[in-house]
Amino acid sequence: MRGAAPTRIGTRAEISEKDTSARPGMPSSRPLAGAVEPARVRGGGWVDSSCERSGGTRAEDRRTRADLGNRPDRRYGFAIADEGEQMDRNIRTVEDVLKLMDGLFAPDADRWTPAGGSDWWDRFYADRSKPVPFFAAKPDESLASYLDRGLIAPGRALDLGCGPGRNALHLAARGFQVDAVDLSPSAIAWAEERARGAAGDLRFHCGDAFDLAATGLTGPYDLVYDSGCFHHLPPHRRVSYLDLLDRLLAPGGHLALTCFAAGAMGSELPDAAFYRDSRLHGGLAYSADSLRWIFSDLTECELRPMRDEPAESPYFGEGFLWAALFRRGAN
Ligand SMILES: C[S@@+](CC[C@H](N)C(=O)[O-])C[C@H]1O[C@@H](n2cnc3c(N)ncnc32)[C@H](O)[C@@H]1O
């Protein structure tokens, strides 16, 4: 048992021979000891107090051991909480785990939750005159092309992270019944201004696309459209994204996605590094194969670099983005 007191513990050399997971300063799969007794320190994990460990000092280790005195937790090596840290046992569901993982990121790195992301995006949209390519009220060239080639046909559409609504407006003008959702009240206010007087069936919703129960949106949708939201999600939120598709995408419906293309834009760090760094470094790059893997429950219709569109074009297009169209099976 992990927390039980060992009767005899080998030397560090013996342990490292037997237990390859034992590394100085890192939690081991079992107690590490030898010349010194193991101590369970703040934050958990057995450490050999002769080792340096990150985030603490030897003095703290000594105080921890002294505080424990002769109590049973001294012998069994239970962790004690930091000052101000409350014990909780709140994890019950996958969503609880995902929320806990959201919290591993620095607050100022958050671009995807109502808690941090909506303020960040509000500030981003505050100056509408900034030369941000997607501030122009033009649809994606890829969206126009899917429509012109008949790859997608009017039905119900959900625009995820719609921003100021340029693609939602185009979808509505082309006969879709559109729900468009964004975290940022400023983006939604801007989108609603643009939609005033426009023809078509279009509703904007301010909220978290992954908490659709809160926004009152229900599927099924024939098209889920996402231009530039997916690459701002941390890796674990792909689980929420795929769950959203499972729940809301109609059989035979399409996912159309534009996102940062590896080699051209976005961070190419491995997934785990974002948790180590507590930030997403401006957004995640995806390779074509990584998109195929992530959306492997869907069928690929088209996956190509977006066409670069000149400033005078009626369409938005940047070559550093993928334009991907996937279809859900018809059953
Ligand atoms: C790069 S912007 C793209 C905006 C818009 N799709 C466009 O292309 O003009 C990404 C948008 O995703 C939104 N977003 C990020 N996380 C979200 C979430 N969990 N729910 C809803 N919107 C989200 C942001 O508020 C932001 O407006």
> Are 138 and 284 within one domain?
yes
Ligand 1 pocket residues where CB is under 6 Å: 111-112, 117, 121, 134, 161-163, 166, 181-184, 187, 208-210, 227-229, 232
Q: Is-contact 29 21, C-beta < 8 A? A: yes
- Residues 160-202 pLDDT 10s: 999 999 999 999 999 999 999 999 999 999 999 999 988 899 9
> What pLDDT shows up at residue 177?
98
> Are 185 and 50 within one domain?
no
> What pLDDT shows up at residue 68?
55
Residue 69 has pLDDT above 80, yes or no: no
Domain count, the chain: 2
- Which of 128, 182, 192, 257 gets mutated to test ligand 1 (max ligand atoms within 8 A of its CB)? 182
- Give a yes or no: residue 290 inside a domain: yes
Say how many C-beta atoms besides its own lie within 10 A of residue 161's C-beta: 23
DSSP 210-224: T-HHHHT----EEEE
Residues paired with 90 in a beta bridge:
none
Lookup: tokens for 24: 């100085």
> Are 77 and 164 within one domain?
no
- Residues 124-173 pLDDT 10s: 999 999 999 999 999 999 999 999 999 999 999 999 999 999 999 999 99
The chain-wide mean pLDDT, for the chain, equals 83
- Give a yes or no: residue 101 inside a domain: no
Ligand 1, atom nearest to 258 Cα: 8
Residue 63 has pLDDT above 60, yes or no: no
- Give a yes or no: residue 10 inside a domain: no
> Are 285 and 162 within one domain?
yes
- Give a yes or no: residue 27 inside a domain: no
- Give a yes or no: residue 140 inside a domain: yes
- Which of 229, 240, 315, 321 gets mutated to test ligand 1 (max ligand atoms within 8 A of its CB)? 229
Cα–Cα dist 175/160, whole Å: 18
Q: Is-contact 168 194, C-beta < 8 A? A: no
CATH code of the domain in which 217 resides: 3.40.50.150
> Are 68 and 121 within one domain?
no
> Are 70 and 158 within one domain?
no
Residue 278 has pLDDT above 80, yes or no: yes
The residue among 23, 53, 87 that closes a domain is: 87
Q: Is-contact 134 229, C-beta < 8 A? A: no
> Are 294 and 199 within one domain?
yes
User: Would you place residue 72 in the very low, low, confident or very high pLDDT band (cuts 50, 70, 90)?
Assistant: low
Q: Give residue 62's identity as a one-letter amino acid code.
A: R
- Which of 95, 121, 284 gets mutated to test ligand 1 (max ligand atoms within 8 A of its CB)? 121
Angle between helices 166-173 and 141-148 (to 10 degrees): 20
- Give a yes or no: residue 19 inside a domain: no
- Give a yes or no: residue 53 inside a domain: yes
- Give a yes or no: residue 260 inside a domain: yes
> Are 177 and 292 within one domain?
yes
Cα–Cα dist 198/171, whole Å: 12
Cα–Cα dist 39/74, whole Å: 8
Domain that holds residue 169: 107-327
> Are 175 and 243 within one domain?
yes
Cα–Cα dist 231/322, whole Å: 11
Reduced to 3 states, what is the DSSP secondary structure of residue 318? coil
Lowest mean pLDDT segment, chosen from 30-44, 272-286, 302-316: 30-44
> Are 60 and 123 within one domain?
no
> What pLDDT shows up at residue 282?
96
What is the 159 CA–ligand 1 centroid distance (Å)? 9
Q: Name which residue sits closest to atom 10 of ligand 1, judged by CA.
A: 229
Q: Name which residue sits closest to atom 27 of ligand 1, judged by CA.
A: 163
User: Would you place residue 314 in the very low, low, confident or very high pLDDT band (cuts 50, 70, 90)?
Assistant: very high
- Residues 235-273 pLDDT 10s: 999 999 999 999 999 999 999 999 999 999 999 999 999
> What pLDDT shows up at residue 70?
59
pTM of the predicted model, to two decimals?
Answer: 0.80
> Are 174 and 218 within one domain?
yes
Backbone phi, then psi, for 177, in 5-degree steps? -95, 115
Is the N-terminal amide bond of 220 cis, ω within 30° of 0? Answer: yes
Say how many C-beta atoms besides its own lie within 10 A of residue 71's C-beta: 10
> Are 222 and 112 within one domain?
yes
User: Would you place residue 82 in the very low, low, confident or very high pLDDT band (cuts 50, 70, 90)?
Assistant: confident
Residue 59 has pLDDT above 80, yes or no: no
What is the 163 CA–ligand 1 centroid distance (Å)? 5
Residues paired with 103 in a beta bridge:
none
Q: Is-contact 316 136, C-beta < 8 A? A: yes
What is the 289 CA–ligand 1 centroid distance (Å)? 24
